[in-house]
Structure 1
């Protein structure tokens, strides 16, 4: 069955790029509502659909823009948390142009969702079933969707910095895998990129409390990594959040090689441009166990 959160969830922090205070509230919504964002600081057309065709190119995050030009950025972590916890309908209110970065992962969003709980709605789930291979390429970067019985992610990265290097991870996202394996993995960057962004007046809210910073073979954060392969896990987290902009759960295998936000968005455009590559499938109640977030219980993840 379709789902929403049981009650309003409120979180606050700073915007990664502006450094300004940012507040967010996730409200319950009815069946077939989907995920929408609403800017509470904007009068008039403040509603922004969480859809792939609302994405505007941005090098450092996923940026959504409505037809009136109203935007909200850095939506990928909260979108990943909603998808990973099985929340299909919600109104996400933000009081400015950015979702709070919190600790740079999706863990705080996940904790709040699990604590609040998810409510089932009296409507079936419609999923996007991938029927044939779709791929996009950009130099040495690739993103692919292929048929599979449930959502799977296969991600590979390759960085010169020895603290990251080459990493690959493959996961099926059903049965709480996102919450268990990916949600606490933080965004990461290189020290030289941090210096350049700060010099250009960007990433003003970034700090060691909300990002992993590497410098060659060294992890700058005094606490070190949460996982030895935290970097590729975070890329998978981002991929889930960006895939959630399809507007419905995907049944298929996503493969990303040095991929990122823009590549995943291009892939969704390519998928929907080919009517033979997918179909909308209505899931029976017994088939809903295939989805991320199915059967999650707060007590099982109290360690988060």
Structure 2
């Protein structure tokens, strides 16, 4: 069997909150098998625990926010993606503020922090959510679909009416290496006109060229430029990895997104979980996982490449 994993050691990181502009400290701790990812607002008395799952999502404007019992934690998507990318199934997240630190706008610093903690393998099998039938959701001209596949893939078609961004398309076939090398370092981005509006409404108070790619009318304002020529769509995939992890399991399926964002990602997870006939929860041996195109299990006969 492939077994669930947690951190071997406790690790701590601090950084600026994108919207509050305040310094926030976050500590990741090992957790028992079957725990999942649980956030703890340790600045509240008593502390409030919030499971990172679709039913606890309370807001998807600008970021993904989970909440429970009067407490919330926002901008969780980069950390959730980093945990997924590092193979962490179970972890406690102690946080002393209402949002995850934005760091440099990407998941790379969080990946490094998790790796510093090391990985502990449990004796309890990991269950994969395997897509059996297509599930699709739409909002206006935006669409997100997940279809059967022998691997976890995300294909993202990003379109903006802006001369600098325009349209970008990329497909990620997920592995720990492809996530780390191709996606984790892609930074969040925003348009200068929107940043000014957000700050006028008391949001994005911690935003700067140090933690976001800012796009003006004629180009990128960051003096160092972009990390990748298609950094924008790579970051959209990064957000999707984190948002989709709120299904509570590692996915095996092909996600196809057109102009998607946090709201539509959440809607896709919610729709999928409401339709149990469209997926199976499956345990794999390491040999089966290493050869995803040759899975011998009879119940996977319907999977496409």
Q: TM-score band (shorter)?
A: over 0.9
CA-based RMSD: 1.3
Shift of 1:290: 7.4
> 1:9: which partner in 2?
11
1:243 aligns with 2:248: no
In the TM superposition, residue 229 of structure 1 has moved relative to its aligned partner by 0.4
Q: 1:289/1:50 Cα in 2 relative to 1: closer, same or farther (>3 Å)?
A: farther
SS of the residue 1:37 aligns to: strand
Q: Using a 3 Å threshold, how does the CA distance of structure 1 residues 62 and 253 change in structure 2: closer, same or farther? A: same
Displacement of 1:60: 0.5
Kindly provide the CA deviation profile for residues 190-237 of structure 1, in whole angstroms up to 9, marking residues without a partner as x. Answer: 010011111111110100000000013310000100001000000000
In the alignment, structure 1 segments of 5+ residues that lack a partner are: 292-304
Which structure 2 residues correspond to residues 251-266 of structure 1 after superposition, within 5 A? 251-266=252-267
Give the corresponding residue for 1:180. Answer: 181
Question: Any conservation in 1 of the 2:11–2:116 contact (CA below 8 Å)?
Answer: no
Aligned residue for 2:285? Answer: 284
Distance 1:8 1:289 in 2: 29
The answer for the alignment partner of 1:56 in structure 2 is: 58
Cα deviation per residue 1:25-69 (whole Å; 9 max; x = unaligned)? 110111111111001111236100000111012310000011x12
Say whether 1:101 aligns with 2:110. no
Tell me the TM-score normalised to structure 1 length: 0.93
Distance 2:288 2:115 in 1: 22
Provide the C-alpha distance between the structure 2 equivalents of 1:96 and 1:59, rounded to a whole number of angstroms: 18
Give the length in aligned residue pairs: 290
Secondary structure of the residue aligned to 1:121 is: strand
Aligned partners of 1:143, 1:118: CA distance in 2, in Å?
Answer: 32
Cα 1:56–1:219 change in 2 (3 A) is same
- SS of 2:280's partner is strand
Cα deviation digits, residues 153-194 of structure 1 (max 9, x gap):
000111122221100000100242111100000000001001
Name structure 2 gaps, 5 residues minimum: 293-305
Shift of the 74–111 alpha-carbon distance from structure 1 to 2, 3 Å rule, reads same
Partner of 2:138: 137
Residue 46 (structure 1) aligns with? 48
The yes-or-no answer on 1:27 pairing with 2:33 is no
Between the aligned partners of 1:124 and 1:61, the Cα distance in structure 2 is 31
CA contact (8 A) 2:85 2:176 kept: no
**2:296 counterpart residue number:** none
Map of 1:165 onto structure 2:
166
Secondary structure of 2:123's partner? coil
Aligned residue number for residue 210 of structure 1: 211
The CA deviation string for residues 266-285 of structure 1, in whole angstroms up to 9 with x for no partner, is: 00111111121111111223
- Cα gap change, 1:289 to 1:216, in 2 (>3 Å): farther
TM alignment of 1:120-159, pairs within 5 A: 120-159=121-160
Matches of 1:105 and 1:45 in 2, distance apart?
Answer: 28
* Paired position in structure 1 for 2:228: 227
